């Protein structure tokens, strides 16, 4: 009898604690949105992270208490021979909680205590992905996730590999600014693009107390669908994990990079091409106009000197090849290609680096059916992508191929922070 009362009181205490902490989060988010002090916003952000960790720990403890009373049995199916319960993954409710290790800051003790990093759980995860065999109840019960709506928990070691590889692969993602803020929080643009100010000894700067503007990130769901053939299930664990990470990273990087360039801003991040360049930085190539040395000079002249240092050209490979053969006033080619390390081409126009973006934007053509931006100059560090480092898994089977389709779901948003380095080249139909 005493034991039951203790549990009831503990549950009541945890519920009140969670409610109080969530109210504190709400109030802090409001303060952050109203604040114009950069240091205060950063301090609030650190406090929010700590509060959310406390909420997650309390919720996990509450779940354990409820399981002790058998409440978790209601509405759950018997996992023996049955499909796992289908649940809707909503990454927008995770507050960007980071379950990261190694270079992302989690302690060795935390890694060692993570039940998803055991070989037993990782093997069960492989069997679930490849053969649709439910993860045993005893393993799922010990695996907790801050993404409570996820169908199953990806081993933390794989989540970390996915995050790290997204940071390093691709053509566009390694160049942009990446953040991890809570959804809905207004972030001073100066926090993303800091500025320094000369001040007298012992004095203060008014500019350091004010922001140059604010930007608000929402969180859009990003879902990629990958096929893991049943033959993959026969691979060694390390080989399977490498293949799984490779497939998820490839799909997500492509979707994110497409959004950075041409995202609509509706249900997905807003791309660079949807921004309006400052006056004089939108270069028009008329219907009868051609690519020539003068056009490149006009584009270079349009970049404000204060913003040109790290600005790069961006275009498709086919568009770059259209510049090949053009010479300057001295007969020197304007386009150069260095083959670099391991034969990887490094492309330049008038000495400025060119980033090719595959099929993320349209190619240059002498005749176009609609007004088309075929190239632009931009400092990619002035584009910020805010991501939630939590990934959920859902599954279905392709009955034609017998492949098990795995849906990896995360959330992110992205916007241009400073448009002043943007110069666009547009071919018009008129």
CATH number, domain 88-190+205-430, options 3.30.70, 3.90.1690, 3.10.50, 3.90.226: 3.90.1690
101: pLDDT strictly greater than 90: no
186: tokens are 């207004």
Supply the angle between the helices 2-34 and 38-68 in degrees, to the nearest 10: 160
The Cα–Cα gap between 400 and 320 comes to 41
CB contact set of 14 (below 8 Å; sequence gap of 6+): 58, 61, 62, 65
- Could you tell me the residue ranges of all domains in the chain? 1-71, 88-190+205-430
Tell me the pLDDT of the chain averaged across its residues. 76
Highest mean pLDDT among 57-61, 194-198, 211-215, 339-343: 57-61
The Cα–Cα gap between 223 and 410 comes to 7
Could you give the 3-state DSSP secondary structure of residue 235? coil
pLDDT higher at 180 or 308? 308
Exposure b/e, 328-366, CB count within 10 A at least 16 = b: eeeeeebbeeeeeeeeeeebbbbebebebbeebbbbbee
User: Each residue of 349-408: pLDDT tens digit?
Assistant: 999 999 998 889 999 999 999 999 999 999 999 999 988 766 767 666 666 666 667 777
Instruction: Give residue 117's pLDDT band: very low, low, confident or very high (50, 70, 90).
Output: confident
């Amino acid at each position: 009898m005493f034991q039951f009362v203790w549990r009831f009181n503990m549950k009541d205490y945890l519920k009140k604690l969670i409610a109080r902490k969530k109210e504190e989060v709400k109030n802090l988010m409001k303060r952050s949105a109203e604040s114009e002090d950069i240091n205060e916003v950063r301090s609030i952000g650190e406090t929010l992270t700590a509060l959310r960790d406390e909420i997650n720990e309390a919720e996990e403890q509450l779940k354990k208490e409820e399981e002790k009373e058998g409440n978790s049995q209601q509405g759950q199916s018997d996992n023996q021979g049955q499909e796992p319960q289908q649940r809707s993954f909503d990454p927008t409710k995770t507050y960007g909680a980071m379950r990261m290790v190694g270079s992302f800051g989690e302690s060795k003790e935390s890694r060692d205590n993570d039940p998803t990093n055991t070989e037993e759980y990782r093997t069960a995860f492989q069997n679930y992905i490849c053969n649709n065999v439910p993860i045993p109840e005893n393993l799922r019960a010990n695996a907790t996730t801050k993404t409570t709506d996820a169908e199953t928990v990806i081993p933390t070691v794989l989540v970390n590999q996915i995050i790290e590889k997204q940071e390093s692969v691709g053509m566009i993602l390694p160049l942009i600014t990446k953040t991890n803020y809570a959804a809905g929080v207004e972030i001073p643009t100066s926090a993303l693009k800091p500025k320094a100010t000369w001040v007298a000894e012992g004095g203060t700067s008014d500019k350091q107390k004010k922001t140059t503007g604010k930007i608000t990130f929402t969180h859009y769901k990003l879902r990629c669908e990958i096929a893991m053939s049943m033959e993959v299930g026969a691979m060694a664990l390390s080989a399977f994990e490498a293949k799984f990470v490779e497939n998820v990273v490839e799909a997500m990087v492509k979707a994110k990079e497409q959004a950075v360039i041409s995202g609509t801003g509706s249900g997905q991040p807003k791309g660079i091409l949807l921004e309006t360049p400052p006056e004089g930085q939108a270069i028009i190539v008329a219907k009868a106009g051609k690519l020539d040395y003068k056009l490149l000079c006009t584009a270079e002249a349009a970049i404000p000197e204060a913003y040109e240092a790290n600005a790069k050209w961006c275009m498709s490979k086919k568009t770059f090849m259209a510049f090949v053969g053009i010479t300057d006033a001295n007969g020197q080619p304007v386009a150069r290609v260095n083959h670099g390390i391991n034969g990887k081409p490094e492309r330049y126009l008038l000495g400025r680096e060119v980033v090719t973006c595959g099929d993320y934007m349209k190619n240059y053509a002498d005749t176009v059916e609609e007004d088309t931006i075929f190239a632009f100059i931009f400092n990619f560090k002035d584009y910020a992508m805010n991501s939630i480092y939590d990934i959920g898994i859902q599954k279905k089977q392709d009955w034609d191929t017998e492949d098990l389709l795995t849906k990896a779901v995360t959330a992110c948003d992205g916007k241009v922070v400073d448009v002043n380095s943007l110069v666009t080249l547009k071919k018009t139909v008129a």
